[in-house]
Structure 1
Amino acid sequence: MTSPETTPRPGDQLASTACATRVIVVRAPAGGGPVVACGGSPMVPAASAPPRPAGGGADAGAGPGTGPGTVVGKRYVDAAGTLELLCTAAGTGELTCDGVPMTLKTAKPLPASD
C-alpha cells in the first residue's frame, strides 16, 4: 500500500508478506491512502501475495514472544477510527496503519433494558 494509486477501499483483500495474516478492508478513509502494514512489511493485494506458509493459520515455526499477532474474525481499527480491517487468516505480525499499531475493535455495549 505504498503507492498512491493503491489506496485501500472497502472490500479489498490484503495479505502480509511477513506472515500468514490476511484481511479484508471494511472501512477506509475517503481521502489519501494510509500505509497498512503487518509485521513491519507493507501489505499487498491478496491476489499478488506469495503463498501462505504451510501448516494452516499461524506461521510455522513462530514461537511465543514474536508479537501480538492477529486473530481470525476480529476487527482492527486505527487510532482515528477511519480504517477498519477484518482478519480472515491469523498470523504472528502486528497490524499497523502509518506506523501506528492498530487495536482490536470492541463491541458497543447494549442499552440497559429494565
Structure 2
Amino acid sequence: MAPPAPRPGDQLASTACTTRVVVIRAPADAPVRIECGGKPMVPADGAPPPSGTPDAGPGTILGKRYVDAADTIEVLCTSPGSGQLTADDAPLTIKAAKPLPASD
C-alpha cells in the first residue's frame, strides 16, 4: 500500500536514515511520492527506526528547505541524515534564499 499523499504540515521520517522533514507545500491535485535514500518516507508518528544503507547522495542539512524543479513541493529538514531527498524520483534541491531588501 502506498503512503498517503503529503499535505502541508505533515511530518515525515526516512526509513533509510535519520532524515525527518515537515511538508511546507505540496500539490493538492496530484499525489507526490517523497523518498529519502531511495526508500519512501513515512509519517513520523510511529515511524520504524532507520534500517539498511541509503542510496548515495548529498544528504540533508538541518534547517534547509528543499524544493523540486517545478517549485510545486517544498519540505523543511528538521533532522539531518545521509540520504538524498527525492519527489517522484526527481532530486530535491536546497531552496535559494531570497535576498533581503536594501536598507537606506
Which TM class, normalised by the smaller chain length? 0.7 to 0.9
Contact kept, 8 Å, 2:20 with 2:79, in 1: the verdict is yes
Q: Match of 2:10? A: 12
Contact kept, 8 Å, 2:69 with 2:92, in 1: the verdict is yes
Question: What residue ranges of structure 2 are gaps of 5+ in the alignment?
Answer: none
- Structure-2-length-normalised TM-score: 0.87
Question: Percent of counterpart pairs with the same letter?
Answer: 64
Give the Cα–Cα distance (whole angstroms) in 2 for the partners of residues 82 and 99 of structure 1. 14
Question: What residue ranges of structure 1 are gaps of 5+ in the alignment?
Answer: 54-61
Q: Match of 2:62? A: 72
Contact kept, 8 Å, 2:26 with 2:72, in 1: the verdict is yes
Size of the aligned set, in residue pairs, is 102
Q: 1:92 to 1:20 in 2, by over 3 A?
A: same
Which runs of 4 or more aligned residues in structure 1 lie more than 6 Å from their structure 2 counterparts after TM superposition? none
Q: Match of 2:25? A: 27
Q: Which structure has the larger Rg over C-alpha atoms? A: 1
- Structure-1-length-normalised TM-score: 0.80
Give the Cα–Cα distance (whole angstroms) in 2 for the partners of residues 26 and 36 of structure 1. 13
Q: 1:98 to 1:52 in 2, by over 3 A?
A: closer
Give the Cα–Cα distance (whole angstroms) in 2 for the partners of residues 19 and 94 of structure 1. 10
Question: What is the deviation of 1:49?
Answer: 1.1
Residues 9-51 of structure 1 show CA distances to partners (whole Å, capped at 9, x for unaligned) of: 0110000000000000011112111110000001000113113
Give the Cα–Cα distance (whole angstroms) in 2 for the partners of residues 41 and 95 of structure 1. 10
Residues 60-94 of structure 1 show CA distances to partners (whole Å, capped at 9, x for unaligned) of: xx9xxx42000110000011111100000010000
